[in-house]
Amino acid sequence: MRGGGLLVAGTTSDAGKSVVTAGICRWLVRQGVKVAPFKGQNMSLNSFVTREGAEIGRAQAMQAQAARVEPTALMNPVLLKPGGDRSSQVVLMGKPVGEMSARGYHGGRQQTLFEPVLACLEELRATHDAVICEGAGSPAEINLRRTDIVNMGIARAARLPVVVVGDIDRGGVFAQFFGTTALLAPEDQELVAGYLVNKFRGDVTLLEPGLDMLHGLTGRRTYGVLPYAHGLGIDEEDGLRVSLRGTVRESVVAPPVGADVLRVAVCAVPLMSNFTDVDALAAEPGVIVRFVDRPEELADADLVVVPGTRGTVKALAWLRERGLADTLARRAAEGRPVLGVCGGFQALGEHIEDEVESRAGSVEGLGLLPVRVRFAREKTLARPVGEALGERVEGYEIHHGVAEVLGGEPFLDGCRVGAVWGTHWHGSLESDGFRRAFLREVAAAAGRAFVPAPDTSFGALREEQLDRLGDLIEEHADTDALLRLIEDGAPEGLPFVPPGAP
């Protein structure tokens, strides 16, 4: 096999496309297939920096790990990073090329990106046995079909078979499968081979009559019914909504090693980015991580994290409006731990000059760290390696803000004052020795008898999670039929389901 492919589409956003794509990649690589992931256009605030210094969606980096290949810009040529309700930063081949409104993007710019996106896909197909592509949102968004470069647009251009994933846990999955197919043009329907049910709870035999009726209505089969899987903790694309206040990051079910647990509260700032930074904390036995947006929710927290954000000045205003800024100041005065990462680090500083991101000009920070920040037009994209707390640390940087550190103790690229730490480095807590040393410092400052587990390996846990995704595909999907799809394309003679696209 050389150059095989498949597009994993979804009935909705968050139907499970990312994890299904990763699961198929892990299943294939375990069969000896050289496979790569691909998403032509991704909208996400969760991003990653490749070794060549390109910014791509973090979900594609996770899928590359599932495929056991090094992530590259080819795997996500277009990344849109929302900066507000109506505009996004456009990242092309890993580098920002400007801000654009949704109307401007869909009004013309998106179409100009189609050829580069298709070229990236074809380059991957030329060098791999198979490429598993992830769609975006739903392929039945008929208002956007004319400019589509990530769903049926790319599938039709590259002649990719399509499997549509639906989240049955939300209900209405049969209507979603039927309606998605029936709203596609005949030429698009020719490529929709069938469906994959995600997040099913219960007895599959009770579902089978519905799947048979769906086959009768559409002429398309269901390639598998994946059960609801708890505790995957796989990187997500979209930031947590404030309506999910109190959401707890899933963690390993293991008791603490010491006498106490350690409670971590993450401020759910607007435009929160790379909130996956705290996944490594949640992986530690006895560490409880939750997202909060009220001052009283910080009262019992042993560590407060101010995470990355695509809008540092907006996050600062939000912290002040909510009363969280005053609470953070009291914590700092009392020697209670606070960690700022990237935009959160910038917010903890004394002063910000921003004529780039918010164009707000001169803005006072929270003043908890002796740092002054100036926003540069060129984005810093790096994969630094260093040492802190006596341990080796790796991370990655994605920011426009340039920090001038004026005092405190050195801490990675930032500084520490008392129990307040700040750094631009994302992913630093995935370094096991450093994470344990940091948690020991936090526990001591918080007065907790918490002891980090001596053998927690975040990398090993991530590999276990990816293997679980591969197991879901191997055990609950018709893998022989999926392999035929990837090798041979969509079956001939799939029937048209009316009415089709208007």
So which residues are the catalytic ones?
Answer: 342, 426
CA distance 495 to 219: 6
Half-sphere exposure of 107 (CA within 13 A, CB side): 5
- Can you tell me the distance from the alpha carbon of 42 to that of 342, in angstroms, rounded to the nearest whole number? 22
Bond preceding residue 499 cis, omega within 30 of 0:
yes
CA dist 132 → 56, 380, 474 (Å): 16, 30, 16
Q: What tokens were used for 365?
A: 């920070």
Burial class (CB in 10 A: 0-12, 13-18, 19+), 218: buried
In angstroms, the CA 502 to CA 183 distance is: 8
**Across the beta sheet with 95-101, what order do the strands follow?**
41-43, 78-82, 87-92, 95-101
SS3 call for 303: strand
Sheet holding 351-354, edge to edge: 361-364, 351-354, 371-382, 397-405
Q: How far apart are CA 465 and CA 474, in angstroms?
A: 14
Secondary structure (3-state) at 23: helix
The values of phi and psi at residue 133, to 5°, are -95, 145
Q: What is 244-263 written as a DSSP string? A: GTTPBPP------SSS--EE
Report the distance separating Cα 40 and Cα 189, nearest Å.
20
Three-class SS of residue 226?
A: strand
Task: List, in order, residues 6 or more apart from 55 with CB less than 8 Å away.
Answer: 47, 48, 49, 79, 91, 94, 95, 96, 379, 381, 398
Residue (of 247, 301, 237) closest to 274 by Cα position: 237
Can you read off the two tokens belonging to residue 158?
Answer: 């590259």
Residue 141 half-sphere exposure, CB side, CA atoms within 13 Å?
A: 19
In order of 78, 124, 348, 402, the CA distances from 446 in angstroms are 43, 50, 20, 31
